[in-house]
């Protein structure tokens, strides 16, 4: 049982042999794994996401959110993550709504949703005539959507358990 993973602005898992309803159910579980990782502030390399800029951290706290890089200030992007397509051969996790798809595409490329910003650290560097290490606010968002190594292991486990459950049902229901 070989799984094929493709991640661009959506996550696509190919695995022939599962009916569409079972692929959708399995991908809902994979979506929950990805969502839990992002909400806990872990990036695509399974390490902690870098800290927020101090001003944005204060802004999140003032609005009742935790000061962690976790896509959870308004919840719009996280709530729009869903299984967008499921067929007999593959299923896709993406984002509902064009606005959220665009936002996810910018996030995946590590850029601000409002477009590329002026790199203030380069401007300061040119003014001073020396080398300045970029501030965290100048780095932009950290890519977090996709399948991290732990997510891939979890997806493999979900698909395998579903496969073995189907096999067990096949042998126990025979007369």
Q: Which of 54 and 110 is assigned the larger pLDDT?
A: 54
Q: Which of 12 and 64 is assigned the larger pLDDT?
A: 64
Using the predicted structure, report yes or no on whether residue 156 has a pLDDT greater than 50: yes
Question: Do strands 4-7 and 81-86 pair parallel, antiparallel, or not at all (unpaired)?
Answer: unpaired
Q: Classify residue 87: in a domain, yes or no.
A: yes
Give the CA diameter of the chain. Answer: 83
Q: The domain containing residue 163 runs over which residues?
A: 4-97+145-172
Contact 90, 13 (CB under 8 A): yes
Confidence category of residue 126, pLDDT binned at 50, 70, 90 = very low
Q: Classify residue 140: in a domain, yes or no.
A: no
Using the predicted structure, report yes or no on whether residue 112 has a pLDDT greater than 60: no
Q: Classify residue 139: in a domain, yes or no.
A: no
Q: What is the pLDDT of residue 105?
A: 76
Q: Classify residue 29: in a domain, yes or no.
A: yes
| Residue of 114, 113, 131 lying closest to 122 (CA atoms) | 131
Q: Classify residue 17: in a domain, yes or no.
A: yes
- String of b and e for 9-23 (b: at least 16 CB within 10 Å)? bbbbbebeebeeebb
CB-hemisphere CA count at 13 Å for 66? 9
Q: What is the pLDDT of residue 138?
A: 52
Question: What element of type H or E holds 164?
Answer: helix 149-172
Q: Classify residue 78: in a domain, yes or no.
A: yes
Lowest mean pLDDT among 6-15, 21-30, 87-96, 133-142: 133-142
Q: Classify residue 45: in a domain, yes or no.
A: yes
Q: Classify residue 136: in a domain, yes or no.
A: no
Count of domains for the chain: 1
């Amino acid at each position: 049982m070989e799984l094929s993973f493709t991640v661009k602005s959506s996550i696509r898992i190919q695995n022939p042999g599962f009916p569409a309803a079972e692929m959708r159910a399995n991908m809902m579980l994979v979506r929950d794994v990805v969502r839990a990782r992002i909400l806990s502030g872990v990036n695509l390399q399974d390490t902690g996401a870098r800290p927020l800029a101090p001003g944005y951290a204060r802004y999140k706290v003032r609005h009742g959110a935790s000061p962690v890089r976790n896509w959870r200030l308004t919840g719009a992007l996280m709530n729009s993550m869903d299984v967008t397509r499921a067929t007999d051969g593959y299923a896709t996790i993406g984002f509902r709504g064009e606005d959220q798809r665009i936002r996810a595409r910018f996030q995946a490329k590590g850029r601000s949703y409002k477009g590329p910003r002026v790199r203030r650290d380069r401007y300061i560097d040119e003014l001073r005539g020396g080398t300045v290490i970029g501030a965290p606010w100048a780095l932009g968002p950290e890519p977090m959507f996709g399948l991290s190594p732990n997510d891939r292991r979890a997806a493999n486990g979900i698909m395998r358990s579903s496969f073995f459950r189907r096999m067990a049902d096949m042998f126990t229901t025979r007369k």
